[in-house]
């Protein structure tokens, strides 16, 4: 990752233009061509410097559902279970933790019913209990990671 990639990551974390040509507008603000911005974003995704690039939606405000869930996965099954969980399109991200509940993941669905179906499906396919931890209160944290 070079200085231009760092500028791209730092700039685009806090907003992205809503316009007819958003990539062109973002590129101009960064002093780049639209194609260079697209190429660099593509490479950052390809080499896994970025895991995703896209908008964050408020699923609940749109009638959907969102939750944090966890599993207690035996160490010898961790990679297998991660593959099963990650195969569910409802899983936004999944990560390991040093805790009895050692696999945590976020699910987002179009409806609350789909959320329950996904949780049940994960339990069925892994044979493990899913601990569902829905949000009780929402807090806004303006997280920005400097590259």
Q: Is the pTM of this model over 0.75?
A: no
CATH number for the domain running over 65-133: 3.30.70.3460
Residue 56: per-residue pLDDT: 73
Residue 51: per-residue pLDDT: 79
What are the structural domain ranges in the chain?
3-46, 65-133
Residue 106: per-residue pLDDT: 93
Measuring CA to CA, how many Å separate 127 from each of 82, 93, 109, 123, 144? 13, 20, 22, 5, 37
Beta-strand runs (E) in 61-147: 65-71, 91-96, 103-109, 131-133
Consecutive sets of 10 residues in the chain, 147 residues long: mean pLDDT of each?
Answer: 93 90 96 97 92 79 91 97 95 92 95 95 98 87 68
């Amino acid at each position: 990752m070079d200085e231009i990639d760092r500028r791209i990551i730092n700039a685009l974390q806090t907003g992205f233009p809503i316009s007819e040509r958003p990539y062109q507008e973002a590129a101009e603000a960064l002093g780049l061509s639209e194609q260079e911005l697209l190429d660099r974003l593509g490479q950052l995704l390809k080499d896994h410097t970025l895991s995703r690039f896209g908008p964050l939606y408020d699923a609940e405000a749109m009638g959907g559902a969102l939750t944090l869930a966890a599993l207690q996965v035996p160490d010898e099954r961790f990679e297998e279970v991660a593959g099963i969980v990650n195969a569910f399109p409802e899983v936004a991200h999944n990560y390991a933790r040093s805790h009895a509940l050692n696999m945590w993941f976020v699910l987002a669905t179009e409806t609350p019913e789909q959320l329950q179906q996904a949780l049940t499906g994960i339990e069925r396919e892994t044979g493990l209990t899913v601990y569902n931890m829905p949000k009780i209160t929402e807090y806004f944290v303006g997280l920005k990671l400097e590259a």
